């Protein structure tokens, strides 16, 4: 039986270099926020959950004791390990596995950071409870991800183009859904901020190696939507658009 994990691994095969060099993933105002928060605590142990190309790990490594770069994709982890060695970063280790079953002890980490990964998780509630389990008392979960909308027309459009581009997509959760998920796992919401992320259409589909028929479907949807949806996502002539991103800080 094909699982969501199987789809994830298939989708990200042969794409690790693309994600390593992706400007969307390598840059972001949130890196400074993460470093400011993490560097306040001495000798922190950090889990980079759904590390992808490893950009969070590379950024925070100089400020912490240790980083575990964790991902479902072995190919991504091989790229992270090689890149860390090239950068002479010695406090990053890699480990493979799903978000829903973390192979770590209770209270093992001071921080868990997840950036642009949660929308792929097979069971979001199970993953959030696992994050809560591996955090120490007072530990912090920092989440950055594209967020859905409580307005049905906007949400339906976003989720649809996401899964057409990338069948491993599960859901971009709304602010309200994230608050509910966190509180359901006994995590306290400390901070929520919203920011915009601009996505170049050509780079967006090339990074995922989206097939041409899927690209045409996305373009058809972009051309067929209401002015309200078009304006919200700032859809351009070439298909480039903007999405809302949430920056969350939760504490155990």
- For residue 106, being part of any structural domain is answered with yes
- For residue 80, being part of any structural domain is answered with yes
- For residue 19, being part of any structural domain is answered with yes
2 CB neighbour count, 10 Å cutoff: 7
pTM of the model: 0.92
- Please write the tens of the pLDDT for every residue from 47-58: 999 999 999 999
- For residue 218, being part of any structural domain is answered with no
Q: Rounded distance, CA 156 to CA 174, Å?
A: 12
- For residue 160, being part of any structural domain is answered with no
Region for residue 36 given its phi and psi (left: phi exceeds 0; alpha: psi -120 to 50; beta: otherwise):
alpha
- For residue 47, being part of any structural domain is answered with yes
CATH number at residue 177: 3.40.50.150
**C-alpha separations of 175 from 16, 25, 134, 172, 244 in Å:** 29, 21, 23, 10, 10
Average pLDDT over residues 219-238: 98
The residue range of the domain holding 89 is: 4-148+167-198+245-251
- For residue 240, being part of any structural domain is answered with no
Our measurement of the distance from residue 98's CA atom to the centroid of its chain's CA atoms, rounded to an integer in Å, reads: 13
- At which residue do the structure tokens 């601009």 appear? 198
- Please write the tens of the pLDDT for every residue from 27-83: 678 889 999 999 988 789 999 999 999 999 999 999 999 999 999 999 889 999 999
Our measurement of the distance from residue 205's CA atom to the centroid of its chain's CA atoms, rounded to an integer in Å, reads: 17
Average pLDDT over residues 160-176: 97
Q: Rounded distance, CA 31 to CA 54, Å?
A: 12
Q: Rounded distance, CA 10 to CA 120, Å?
A: 13
- Please write the tens of the pLDDT for every residue from 84-121: 999 999 999 999 999 999 999 999 999 999 999 999 99
- The answer to whether the CB of 69 falls within 8 A of the CB of 95 is yes
Please provide residue 84's backbone torsions phi and psi, each rounded to the nearest 5 degrees. Answer: -60, -40
**C-alpha separations of 163 from 67, 119, 135, 223 in Å:** 31, 10, 31, 18
DSSP state of 72: S
Region for residue 157 given its phi and psi (left: phi exceeds 0; alpha: psi -120 to 50; beta: otherwise):
alpha
- For residue 213, being part of any structural domain is answered with no
Instruction: Quote the number of domains for the chain.
Output: 1
**C-alpha separations of 114 from 99, 109, 121, 128, 142 in Å:** 10, 13, 11, 11, 6
Q: Rounded distance, CA 247 to CA 229, Å?
A: 23
Average pLDDT over residues 238-248: 98
- pLDDT classification of 15: cutoffs 50, 70, 90: very low
């Amino acid at each position: 039986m094909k699982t969501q994990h199987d789809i994830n691994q298939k989708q990200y095969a042969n794409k690790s270099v693309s994600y390593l060099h992706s400007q969307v993933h390598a840059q972001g105002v949130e890196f400074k926020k993460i470093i400011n928060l993490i560097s306040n605590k001495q000798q922190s142990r950090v889990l980079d959950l759904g590390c992808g190309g490893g950009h969070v790990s590379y950024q925070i490594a100089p400020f912490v004791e240790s980083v575990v770069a964790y991902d479902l994709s072995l190919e991504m982890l091989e790229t992270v390990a090689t890149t860390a060695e090239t950068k002479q970063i010695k406090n990053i280790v890699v480990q493979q596995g799903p978000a829903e079953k973390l192979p770590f002890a209770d209270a093992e980490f001071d921080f868990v950071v997840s950036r642009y990964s949660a929308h792929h998780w097979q069971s979001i509630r199970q993953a959030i409870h696992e994050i809560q389990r591996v955090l120490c008392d007072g530990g912090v979960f920092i989440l950055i991800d594209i967020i859905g909308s409580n307005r049905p027309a906007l949400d339906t459009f976003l989720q649809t183009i996401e899964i057409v581009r990338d069948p491993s997509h599960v859901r971009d959760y709304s602010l309200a859904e994230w608050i509910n998920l966190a509180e359901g796992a006994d995590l306290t919401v400390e901070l929520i901020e919203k920011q915009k992320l601009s996505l170049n259409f050509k780079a967006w589909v090339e990074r995922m190696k989206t097939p041409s028929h899927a690209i045409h479907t996305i373009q058809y949807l972009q051309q067929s939507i209401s002015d309200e949806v078009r304006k919200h996502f700032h859809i351009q002539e070439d298909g480039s658009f903007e999405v809302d991103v949430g920056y969350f800080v939760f504490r155990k």
